[in-house]
């Protein structure tokens, strides 16, 4: 079947995943966690969709569902137009070539007994991408693409820094010639300047290869500078989704406002501003999430109806979606206050470096 360029690389329709966390002595499920509930989204070619939210909100589970590493309990996943929800293990292995995953800890995802050349050549062999005689050449080319030197191919992971190891992981992901890469907290463990370099590399690769990214992160400061669109998650649900520009300029959902107001700021927020966006209490247990709107137990704008409303996304004509049934009635000045928050100077530095590097000619990396 010929695909048009408008076919999403990944599409989720009503995707859900429950994990049984307690069973009876006879093995029957007693308690389960709804890690992901009724998520519908699309990743288009060449775009970056960020998935953000607090720890435990279901970001990683959603990432694994999107590449069908785990099976959904509800809904469907399409990769490059093909429904992969119920594909067998073997068929899925072939399809997975199109979507690769990068984790936070590059050391854990590299085999310490394999050289970098062997590591990168593995997917080349597995998917039979280039003939055996051309593999060394392709490994060298991939190393250069991620800013490493071909002569580093014979080294082992422990001989590299954290940033260089993440580059190796990216080279291995690229070896499969994917259409999309899911980056699960891919730069979170790196320090600020190395983060800037790796983010810069990802953006550059996107431009050159037309790659799409799902960028899973708890760090909104980083997301703001890499994402085209953002999906905000709370207790397994997407509560707001829109372009990065809109989400950061006019956050609709109270949870998005709270997340934005939690970005570290240079000056302490005014009492007024902190109150406007502050959530009350702790994150409820995912074992027994609140009925109605999941946020109602913590929302500063809560009203009695919130205990019974559904979490259905209200989609505006421009595609911006948000799950707060009363968002049009929330004080508009609160959104403006949060959107105006000054940013962390350290992050500003990161992005300045980012921009400056984008203007420089490509070079190989000896340090980070």
Ligand X SMILES: Nc1ncnc2c1ncn2[C@@H]1O[C@H](COP(=O)(O)OP(=O)(O)OP(=O)(O)O)[C@@H](O)[C@H]1O
Q: Under the rule (CB under 6 A), what is the footprint of ligand X? A: 19, 21, 33, 35, 53, 55-61, 218, 286
Give the DSSP letter of residue 6: T
Choice between 4 and 55, CB closer to ligand X:
55
Kindly state the smallest distance separating residue 56's Cβ from ligand X, in Å: 4
What is d(CA 143, CA 126) in angstroms, rounded to the nearest whole number? 19
Choice between 120 and 231, CB closer to ligand X:
231
Kindly state the smallest distance separating residue 324's Cβ from ligand X, in Å: 20
What is d(CA 207, CA 202) in angstroms, rounded to the nearest whole number? 9
Kindly state the smallest distance separating residue 235's Cβ from ligand X, in Å: 9
Query: Apex CA 96: angle with CA 91 and CA 100, to 5°?
Result: 170
Choice between 154 and 285, CB closer to ligand X:
285
List the one residue out of 10, 356, 25 whose CA is nearest residue 200.
Answer: 356
Kindly state the smallest distance separating residue 236's Cβ from ligand X, in Å: 7
Kindly state the smallest distance separating residue 346's Cβ from ligand X, in Å: 21
Kindly state the smallest distance separating residue 18's Cβ from ligand X, in Å: 9
Query: What's the distance, Cα to Cα, between the start and end of the chain in Å?
Result: 43
Q: Helix (H) and strand (E) counts for the chain? A: 12, 12
Kindly state the smallest distance separating residue 291's Cβ from ligand X, in Å: 18
Kindly state the smallest distance separating residue 355's Cβ from ligand X, in Å: 28
Query: Apex CA 350: angle with CA 264 and CA 100, to 5°?
Result: 100
Q: 19: alpha, beta or left, given left = phi > 0 and alpha = psi -120 to 50?
A: beta
Choice between 70 and 357, CB closer to ligand X:
70
Choice between 185 and 246, CB closer to ligand X:
185
Choice between 218 and 225, CB closer to ligand X:
218
Secondary structure class of 255 (helix, strand, coil): helix
Choice between 60 and 197, CB closer to ligand X:
60
Choice between 188 and 243, CB closer to ligand X:
188
What is d(CA 230, CA 321) in angstroms, rounded to the nearest whole number? 11
Q: Are 275 and 301 in contact (CB under 8 A)?
A: no
Q: Are 193 and 348 in contact (CB under 8 A)?
A: no
Q: Are 61 and 35 in contact (CB under 8 A)?
A: yes
Burial label for 223, CB within 10 Å (0-12, 13-18, 19+), is buried
List the one residue out of 34, 9, 49, 4 whose CA is nearest residue 321.
Answer: 49
């Amino acid at each position: 079947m010929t695909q048009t360029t408008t076919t999403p690389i990944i599409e989720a329709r009503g995707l859900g995943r429950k994990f049984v966390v307690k069973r009876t002595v006879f093995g029957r499920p007693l308690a389960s966690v709804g890690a992901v509930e009724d998520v519908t989204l699309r990743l288009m070619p060449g775009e970056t969709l960020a998935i953000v939210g607090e720890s435990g909100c279901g970001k990683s589970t959603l990432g694994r569902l999107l590449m069908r590493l785990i099976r959904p309990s509800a809904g469907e996943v399409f990769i490059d137009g093909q429904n992969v929800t119920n594909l067998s293990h073997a068929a899925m292995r072939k399809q997975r070539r199109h979507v690769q995953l990068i984790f936070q800890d590059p050391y854990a995802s590299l085999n310490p007994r394999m050289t970098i050349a062997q590591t990168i050549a593995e997917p080349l062999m597995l998917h039979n991408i280039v003939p055996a005689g051309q593999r060394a050449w392709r490994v060298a080319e991939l190393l250069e693409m991620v800013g490493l030197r071909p002569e580093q191919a014979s080294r082992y992971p422990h001989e590299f820094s954290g940033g260089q190891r993440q580059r190796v992981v990216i080279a291995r992901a690229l070896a499969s010639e994917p259409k999309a890469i899911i980056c699960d907290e891919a730069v979170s463990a790196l320090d600020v300047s190395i983060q800037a370099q790796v983010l810069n590399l990802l953006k550059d690769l996107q431009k050159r290869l037309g790659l799409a990214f799902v960028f899973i992160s708890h760090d909104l400061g980083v997301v703001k500078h890499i994402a085209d669109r953002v999906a905000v998650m709370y207790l397994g649900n997407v509560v707001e989704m829109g372009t990065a520009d809109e989400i950061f300029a006019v956050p609709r959902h109270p949870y998005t406002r709270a997340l934005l107001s939690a970005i570290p700021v240079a000056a302490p927020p005014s009492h007024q501003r902190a109150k406007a966006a502050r959530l009350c209490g702790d994150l409820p247990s995912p074992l027994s999430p609140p009925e109605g709107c999941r946020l109602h137990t913590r929302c500063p704008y809560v009203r009695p109806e919130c205990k019974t409303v559904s979490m259905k996304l209200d989609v505006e004509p421009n595609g911006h979606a948000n799950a707060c049934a009363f968002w049009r009635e929330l004080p508009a000045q609160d959104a403006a206050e949060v959107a105006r928050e000054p940013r962390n100077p350290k992050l500003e530095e990161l992005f300045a470096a980012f921009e400056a590097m984008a203007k420089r000619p490509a070079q190989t990396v000896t340090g980070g």
